[in-house]
């Protein structure tokens, strides 16, 4: 039997601000190591989408909690982590959760303590079997403080906005670079200043500034780290 925390049981936590490259890197690392990939931001986004569809205000904590109690999030087994989808109540909402109206509201939803408590509980359940790369804002600090490897990705605001802008363009979602930059700056502020689990690196996280690095270079650093610790 594999030793806990080694090889296919490995648990990797990747945190960082919007646009730092978390999901790209997490998917690639998961693919390289044959691990599952869970995007926890997608859960906050899916709840935000459901609130927008249901007419529940994103500042209405009681309404959100009630909505969450009636929501089911699933990450179906994917052919590869690159294609990992999220289902909300059985519907694939992977594309809709990236819409600007969701991005604008999601930080408010993620500020509600009871929403966080419930989603953190689900995230721990998803990771309980090990063999996972999980990305978010509080994975190394709150969700999986015992993770084998903790990475905190950063990049300059300009670079993060540029990446998010290109991503939206590729998906045909209209937005200007300036709008994206303002939205990311506003989200950074809310995520860093919220009372419950503000965005911060775990004391034992390895911080990687991805501003001038390609995804392949970042992945190589993480794989190197896993090997160095005898966990690759």
Smaller CB distance to ligand DC: residue 44 or 152?
Answer: 44
110 contacts ligand DC (rule: CB under 6 A): yes
Smaller CB distance to ligand DC: residue 84 or 107?
Answer: 107
Looking only at residues 49 through 108 of this chain, which bind ligand DC when binding is defined by CB under 6 A? Answer: 106-107
From candidates 7, 41, 131, 232, binder to ligand DC by CB under 6 A: 41
Looking only at residues 130 through 159 of this chain, which bind ligand DC when binding is defined by CB under 6 A? Answer: 136-139
Closest CA to 48 of 26, 73, 23, 30: 73
| Region near ligand DC per CB under 6 A, out of 24-32, 41-49, 66-74, 215-223 | 41-49
213-222: which pairs have CB atoms within 8 A and are 24 or more residues apart? 215/21, 215/24, 215/25, 215/28, 216/28, 218/21, 218/25, 218/153, 219/25, 219/28, 219/29, 219/32, 222/12, 222/25, 222/29, 222/149, 222/151
187 contacts ligand DC (rule: CB under 6 A): yes
From candidates 18, 132, 205, 219, binder to ligand DC by CB under 6 A: 18
Q: Where do the DSSP E strands lie in 123-223?
A: 132-136, 149-154, 206-209
44 contacts ligand DC (rule: CB under 6 A): yes
Using CA atoms in the order 158, 84, 221, 212, what is the torsion angle rounded to 10 degrees? -20
Nearest distance in Å: CB 97, ligand DC: 8
Site residues (CB under 6 A) for ligand DC?
Answer: 18, 40-41, 44-45, 106-107, 110, 136-139, 187, 191
């Amino acid at each position: 039997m594999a030793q806990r925390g080694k090889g296919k049981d490995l648990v990797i936590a990747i945190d960082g601000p919007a646009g730092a490259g978390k999901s790209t890197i997490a998917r690639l690392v998961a693919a390289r190591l044959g691990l599952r990939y869970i995007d926890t931001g997608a859960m906050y986004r899916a709840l935000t989408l459901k609130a927008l569809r249901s007419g529940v205000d994103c500042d209405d904590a009681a309404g959100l909690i009630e909505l969450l109690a009636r929501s089911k999030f699933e990450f179906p087994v994917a052919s590869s982590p690159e294609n990992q989808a999220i289902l909300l109540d059985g519907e694939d909402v992977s594309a809709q959760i990236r819409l600007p109206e969701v991005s604008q509201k999601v930080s408010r939803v993620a500020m509600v303590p009871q929403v966080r408590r419930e989603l953190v509980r689900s995230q721990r359940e998803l990771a309980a079997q090990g063999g996972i790369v999980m990305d978010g804002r509080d994975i190394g600090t709150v969700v999986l403080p015992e993770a084998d490897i903790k990475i905190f990705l950063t990049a300059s605001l300009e670079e993060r906005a540029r990446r998010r802008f290109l991503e939206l363009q590729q998906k045909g979602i209209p937005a200007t670079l300036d709008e994206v930059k303002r939205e990311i700056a506003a989200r950074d502020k809310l995520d860093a200043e919220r009372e419950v689990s503000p965005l911060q690196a775990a004391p034992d996280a390895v911080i990687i500034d991805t501003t001038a690095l390609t995804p392949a270079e970042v992945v190589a650093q993480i794989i190197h780290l896993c090997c160095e610790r005898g966990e690759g």
